[in-house]
Amino acid sequence: MDSLLFILMLIGALGVSSQWIAWRFRMPAIVVMSVMGLLAGPILGIISPQEDLGSMYSPLISIAVGIILFEGSLNLDFREIKGLGKPIFRITTLGAFLAWIIGSLAAHYIADLSWAVAFVIGGIFIVTGPTVILPLLRQAKLKPRPAAILKWEGIIVDPFGALVAVFAFEFVKFVTMDTVTFATILAFLAGSLLGAAIGAFFGYGIGWMFENGYVPEFLKSPVVLASVVMAFALSDTVMHETGLLAVTVMGMTIANMHISSIGDMRHFKENISILLISVIFIMLTASLNRETLLSIFDWHIILFILIMLFVTRPLSIFLSTINTDLQFKEKLLVGWIAPRGIVALTVSGYFAGVLLEAGFDDAEILTSLTFGLVFATVVAHGFSLGWVARRLGLSTESKPGVLIVGSSKFSVNLAKVLEDLNIPVLISDSSWSRLSHARRLGVPYEHGEILSEQTDYQIDLTPYEYMIGLTEYDSYNTLVSSTFMPAFGREHLFQLPLQVNQGDHLEDVSKHISGRLLFEEGANWSALNEKINKGFLFKKTTITQKYTYNQFLKDLDSESVLLFILRKSGNIDFFTPKSEIRPEAGDTVVSLQKPVQN
């Protein structure tokens, strides 16, 4: 292709469409992007980004990887580490170190890589791919402890993989040079410290400016993005390959300043990172030539992948969790599940170029080696996690859960009905007195402010696919929906209809920031709780071939309210004022009905 604009458009379109297909059909995004990139590149020969983009290729990869690592390091709040249990702490420290050492030895002795390349790739492979593992956990429905271990391992170790690779590369490069002197080692340490200082300076500066109101809201995201690129470029100019260290330190600095706009910043960076990851992954896979692709089937690489799957990961987990309360079957599950993700491939693609420039010719197979491991782990772990968890008895086998914000007589009774139907449910409220309803009925609850930044590690959101705002304040329900829209998606966020005659008068609130309205027009907080006070009861009605939905509607009192349908599959469909959902035979309809008069 001669048109650079067309090539850039095609790369972006392939990346984003791959993400959409993966979401639509509940597939690992990395698998879809692999197929797309390989089809467009080495198989059909439509594009070859490395050749088509020329001198722009390496800088684009470098900056994108820097932004991706910055976004990952924004999640590393040290308060989260303090609250972790002994097994998670061990796995994210000793386990990561053991995985690096064992993986590097395997890369050297099995894949026949030089020590420099082996230790760099070993550092990258300690990352277990949070962009891959978190969606898998939602699908697999693991029990809380193994789910928490895999989740926090992915989040905490993610920023350190590239950091370990940077130090390994710089250290081994200096050690393997013919002219290693005290001055060169000192220059390496000074360059690394300067890179970290640049990152900390930019991070602290951004946080200070944001907290003191020196940057308006509409400029915050552009300022952060520009600052990440500046920190990366400045550090890399002072000493090559320290840019990644700078942006990682910058993200960690901002994360631990606990600034009020950190949530908005995370959401923006997540969106940018998804776009960059999609684009970079397509570029890397499409740039593979057929020879490199076929080299994946070399017995050295296949054996290395098998060693990583069946030796390195289980051994690092079992050794690091000695003398912890982790059960054997939990060790088996955690020792098996370690999908490497898109970040591993993008970072290894970056280091492949860097190592080749430094004269390490064996780095040429890094991309194919990483691609083979990433693809193998995503397929093997992605499609086996649920089965293995069930076989080990570590799967909850529960239906998609519901997180209810706001404790009242209606919401607590609704939660009780959901619990009786074996649906995971949790009520969150900042008022201890309002939670008395939940305590009285024995419904699971969380005392705290759902909008607090502490929520991320106080409440495990994994079991819950739906969030509904059931407080008496329309504005608060809308704020909750707006805040959690990136996490749940608008199709799974609900709130009560607005109270037109009282409350906040938000009838003109934008539909783009509010959740989907529940039940029916007029079924607001006051109306629903008034019905509970009048003795209205929650009824569960199973629709059959003989007792059809039409017959059920005929028997329903006009004051009754249709709430939701529990499908045979276990999914929940909430009734909304504009919904046209209909139950089928075998489905259960839950409604709030007027008590039968004697």
**1: pLDDT strictly greater than 50:** no
CA 338 to chain centre: 14
Tell me how far CA of residue 94 lies from CA of 78, 109, 313, in angstroms. Answer: 17, 22, 12
Pair 331, 426 in one domain: no
Helix axes 144-176, 243-255, angle to 10 degrees: 150
Per the CB < 8 A criterion, the answer to whether 522 and 497 are in contact is yes
Pair 46, 164 in one domain: yes
**511: pLDDT strictly greater than 90:** no
pLDDT grade, residue 314 (50/70/90)?
Answer: very high
Domain that holds residue 542: 401-593
- φ, ψ for residue 446, nearest 5 deg: -130, 120
Pair 356, 454 in one domain: no
The answer as to whether 129 is a domain residue is: yes
| b/e code 36-73 from CB counts within 10 Å (16+ = b) | bbbebbbeeeebbbbebbeeebbebbbbbbbbbbbbbb
The CATH number for 498's domain is: 3.40.50.720
Pair 360, 408 in one domain: no
Dump pLDDT digits (tens) for 102-146. 999 998 899 888 888 888 888 888 877 666 676 677 666 777 778
Rounded Cα distance, 374 and 216, in Å? 41
Last residue of a domain, one of 345, 368, 391: 391
Q: In a 3-state reduction of DSSP, which class is residue 365? A: helix
Pair 370, 415 in one domain: no
Pair 352, 432 in one domain: no
Tell me how far CA of residue 55 lies from CA of 49, 192, 280, in angstroms. Answer: 11, 27, 15
DSSP 8-state class, residue 395: B
> How much is the pLDDT for 510?
47
Rounded Cα distance, 172 and 170, in Å? 6
Q: In a 3-state reduction of DSSP, which class is residue 451? A: coil
Per the CB < 8 A criterion, the answer to whether 426 and 459 are in contact is yes
The answer as to whether 563 is a domain residue is: yes
DSSP letters, 261-286, are THHHHHHHHHHHHHHHHHHHHHHHHH
Q: Which of 549, 505, 553, 498 is nearest to 526 (CA)?
A: 498
Pair 327, 453 in one domain: no
**442: pLDDT strictly greater than 80:** yes
Q: What proportion of the chain, given as a percentage, has pLDDT over 70?
A: 83
pLDDT grade, residue 516 (50/70/90)?
Answer: confident
> How much is the pLDDT for 42?
83
What's the residue count for the chain? 598
pLDDT grade, residue 307 (50/70/90)?
Answer: very high
Pair 280, 428 in one domain: no
Dump pLDDT digits (tens) for 526-584. 888 888 888 888 888 888 888 888 888 888 887 888 888 888 777 888 888 877 778 88
Q: In a 3-state reduction of DSSP, which class is residue 25? A: coil
Pair 475, 498 in one domain: yes
**361: pLDDT strictly greater than 90:** no
Q: Is 207 exposed, middle or buried (0-12, 13-18, 19+ CB in 10 A)?
A: buried
CA 595 to chain centre: 45
Per the CB < 8 A criterion, the answer to whether 129 and 154 are in contact is yes
Pair 405, 386 in one domain: no
Per the CB < 8 A criterion, the answer to whether 305 and 372 are in contact is yes
Q: What proportion of the chain, given as a percentage, has pLDDT over 90?
A: 5
The two three-digit tokens of residue 544, written as one number: 């059959």
Interstrand relation of 561-566 and 493-495 (parallel, antiparallel or unpaired): unpaired
**201: pLDDT strictly greater than 90:** yes
The CATH number for 352's domain is: 1.20.1530.20
**Averaged over 450-456, what is the pLDDT?**
62
Last residue of a domain, one of 373, 391, 409: 391
Pair 115, 182 in one domain: yes
Residues 6 or more apart from 320 whose CB is under 8 A from it?
90, 91, 93, 94, 95, 98
The answer as to whether 120 is a domain residue is: yes
Number of domains the chain is built from: 2
The answer as to whether 93 is a domain residue is: yes
Pair 199, 92 in one domain: yes
**Which amino acid is located at 434 in the chain?**
R
Last residue of a domain, one of 391, 425, 447: 391
Average pLDDT, the chain: 79
**Which amino acid is located at 495 in the chain?**
Q
Listed ranges 51-55, 114-118, 195-199, 556-560; the one with the highest mean pLDDT: 195-199
Rounded Cα distance, 198 and 237, in Å? 12
Listed ranges 220-234, 330-344, 345-359; the one with the highest mean pLDDT: 220-234
The answer as to whether 263 is a domain residue is: yes
Tell me how far CA of residue 540 lies from CA of 421, 467, 496, 564, 592, in angstroms. Answer: 9, 21, 21, 10, 9
Give the pTM.
Answer: 0.65
The answer as to whether 598 is a domain residue is: no
Name which residue leads in pLDDT, 93 or 176.
93
pLDDT grade, residue 310 (50/70/90)?
Answer: very high
